[in-house]
Structure formats: structure tokens, C-alpha cells
Structure 1
């Protein structure tokens, strides 16, 4: 047989091999968050990375109404759990497992695959006389929308469980951008602000409405939650953790501030096979530096942040294997 006749045969074999390799890649559904959110953007990023990584998994991300909706959908359609992962937060987990609002029943705990953001929020004011949470008694405070875990539910839990002042403060649940505007308009005395942290580098990225307040030209005064109040809230079972917001993270912050973070993560239920989760997590570890190519928030992702704040027993066994191999979890 002449050599030139071998060329199409070899080419055909290579093509067949490529098709075979593509066929064995397991397809995983990701219920990302609403369009325009960090969860949606980074969900799209992990889909694109999976298409290039040849890691044995092919992620198909789709927009969803939100994280609470995702938990409810997986509960109603449990067969989806064998091939689906979802955005989640530790605070959301506390509410879901205990059957607290906005949930009407208890849900089994989900297991970590990887953090993609560490969210931290606190209250700010233009009033220099408001220096502590206790100074907010009798005043008006604007938070996010009622279902928002980080921007509404967890701050209310700290005001209640950490400070015991929830009933003495007028809470207005407006949404993140309207809360900032209400503060600018003088309609409230304090409003929720914050952003996202990279605990490995110390970098902090303010949220959009926080950046708008910073650009207003007015002096922002930051009201720390306080280490003791955060610890009391944690001791009650709420899934948050301590975080010191670094100096200069936001205009007017001239010293580190005791606060908290909620891990915003991709999780799965135990029904998702260990080997599948191992391949997915290893892909995230190996390609974590590429997320910044798809969204600015990806700059806050690093190997040291992927399992930060989670106990080994709360990490999916497949993910735990990948983290231990990479030396990221003991």
C-alpha cells in the first residue's frame, strides 16, 4: 500500500478517536442564577472552560430564577440530582436544612464542589454619629430584596441573633440598588453595601451599587457587625464565617473591619457520582486562573479560595479527593 493511501485512513482514525473522546465526556447540567448576576456569568465561564479542558465533563449552564428556586426544583425532581449541580451559599444551606423561610420544608444538605465567590456585606451611613449597630435603634435601614440571602436574610439574622436589636430597627427590604439610592436620597439612615473577597490575595471588589455610593463624593461611614455578634450568629447555626474586610476595600474604610462572609459556591447532592464530581472539581482547580478571562469576578477565584470556610464533612467526597490530591484540604 502506498504511503499516500495511508493518509486518509489515519485521518479517519484520528477523527473517530476524537468523536469517541467527546462521547465519553459526561454532560452535567448547571442551574446558574438570573441573567446579569455573578452566578450567571461564572456559570457561563465554567461551561466554556469545560468545552476546552477535555476533563471528562461537559457543563451545560442555563439561566434560573435564583438559588432558592434551584433547591426547590431539585427537591421536586430528585432524578435531576444525578447529573446536576447548582449555585448555593452556606447561609442558604442553613435555611434549607432547617426548613426556614423562604423554604416551607426541610431539605437535605448539599455538598461543596467549589466556591466561586466569597460575599461580604455590612451597613453604611452618611451620618458620622452612627458608629455602632446599637446606634441604629429607632432608625431606618435599607436591605436587599426579601429572598436575598447575603443582602437581606443574613444581615437580619445578625441584627437579631448577634445584636438582639431586630425589633428596634425599621427594616426596609428594597433591593440592593434601591437601598443605595434610598441612602443617597436621605430616605433611610443606613443601607446595605459590600462586595466580594479573595482571601488568598486580600483583594476586594465592591458590588455595583457600593461603587455608585463610593462615586457620590459624600463621606461613607462603615458600621462593623463586630466579631462577637458574628460569632453569636454562627453559634446559632447560621452558615457564615468571620472575615476582616481589608483597609481601603471601600472609600472611608481606614482600618480593617470585623465582618462576615458567606461562601457562594457550586454544590451537588450526594446523588451526583463521586467520580463525576472529582473530574469536575479537578478541572476547576486546574483551570481556576482562566475564570478571569470571562468575568471580572473571576479574578477573585484562586486555589486557596475554592474550599475556604468548609469543613471536610461538608465537601462532596469526589471534590474532597481532588482537593486533598492538590494539597488544598487536609
Structure 2
């Protein structure tokens, strides 16, 4: 039988069929190991469709303006957004790729859109940080580089930690060399001392894999990096919708992310971190204020939350 199989493998058509069969059998074996428990099983971190049904309504997104154990700091958020509104009329970015002109960033990009971009632009001008470390790069990097060039006179030193930097490299210019560094590696492999360089009003910008699991970037950031930050450092975490719940359609599409839940746990009764700005929450529960100050935010209310380290 083995001789027949070996002879068959020499025929091009059969050889390809055997190769494909072996590959599929290997994938099936791997899948069985990965799926020891089906979605919805109480041992599985992946929810079933029944688990997810109505999750937006159940989360109380529209109804709850306060969350148990978490200081949302509405007064401070309102005061800050009022200050940031001073920069709104000077926004230089176009909405589409065709309208971006000489800039790298434009709002309708599908990744880091209107409200997220407006708040990052405004905070960069307001804080005037000396250093920014960004984990996970893309359109937010484009905006940061533009703001550094247009409004900060190149004084902001950026470190981009990105294992897949092709899009970032496509948008960088020779003039960025003096103020930007790209570390082509996973954040888990970056020396912790790198984050000790951040001081008051500097920014740690996180756009991670959004998944806490063994050896993940999220575990590394939450357990190793965030606790060692100095007081006064600002922290951005992306894809955190109010009230720390993911959109139902995302979960049904297979995005079983859990970073927002980990962040909610971190912030409950926390004396080490405070919420300073949350665009999605403001647009949901302070819509009149946001429409009067930054109406373009409602084209996409975003999902970036801004924290500040306040204690050790």
C-alpha cells in the first residue's frame, strides 16, 4: 500500500490532491485542539450568538451615565473638552483621501476616524508632549506626524512600536527621521526601561491586539507597563466603547476581544488611573455640549479613551 501511495504522489494531479488532503487533515487536527470547547460553552471565552443577542441594550449604553465603582469624571471631561474646542476651527485635515492635500491623515479612513482624530489632534496641541510612544501604528501615526510638523515644530519625539510597519513606512517622510523612530518588533520584546522615558504630559498610545491571553501584548501592557508609568503620563487605549462593551455586530463577526473588560476592572475603585477624556461617552451622554463644540465628531464618535496616571 505504501508503494502505491508513493507512486501516486509522483503523478502531478494526484500529488497535489494528496498534499491538499494532508494539509486539511493537519488543519482539522489543529482546529480540534483549539476548539476544545465550542462557543458559548462555560469554559470557552468565545460567546455564542445567543449570548451576544441584545448586548448593546443590556449594557445600558444609552441609559447609564454612571458605572459602578468607576469615576467617569464628567465635570473634568466637560472642562477639558471646552478647552480643546479652541483648536477645532484650526483643524487642517480633509475628510477624504482626495482632500488630504499635503497631509498624511484624513478623517474618513475607516480605522481612526473623526472623533478619535479630532481629540488626538486637540490633545497633542494642548499637552505639547515631549515624547510619545505608540504601540500599533497606522492612521493615528499619520495624524501625530502631521501635528508634530504643523503645530509642534518637530519637538515631539515619537517612538512607534510596530511589528508590521509597511503602512507606517509608506507614510513617513525623510524629514521625520529626526523626530521619529520605528521599532519593528512586538511590544512584549521591548525593554521595559523604554517606558520609563515618559514623563508628565507625555503620551503612551495603545492600539493593541485587544486580546488578553497567555503571552499577549495586552497582558504585557496591563501587568508590566501601565503600573510602572510615572504620574502625569497620559494613556490612550483604542477600541474602548462606552460602557466598556463591544458592538454586537463585532462580536457576532468573531471579534472575541476582552481588553475593554480588563480595562474596566483596572479602573474600578482605582487610585492609580483616572479617566480624563472619552469621546464616545461624551457624545452619548453629553451630546448637546459636543454638538456645540465639535459637531464633526458625530460623523463617527470613535472609541478612544484617554486616561492619566495619577499615583504609584
Pairwise TM-score range, normalised by the shorter structure: under 0.3
Q: TM-score, normalised by structure 2?
A: 0.27
Point out which structure has higher relative CO (alpha carbons under 8 A, 6+ apart).
1
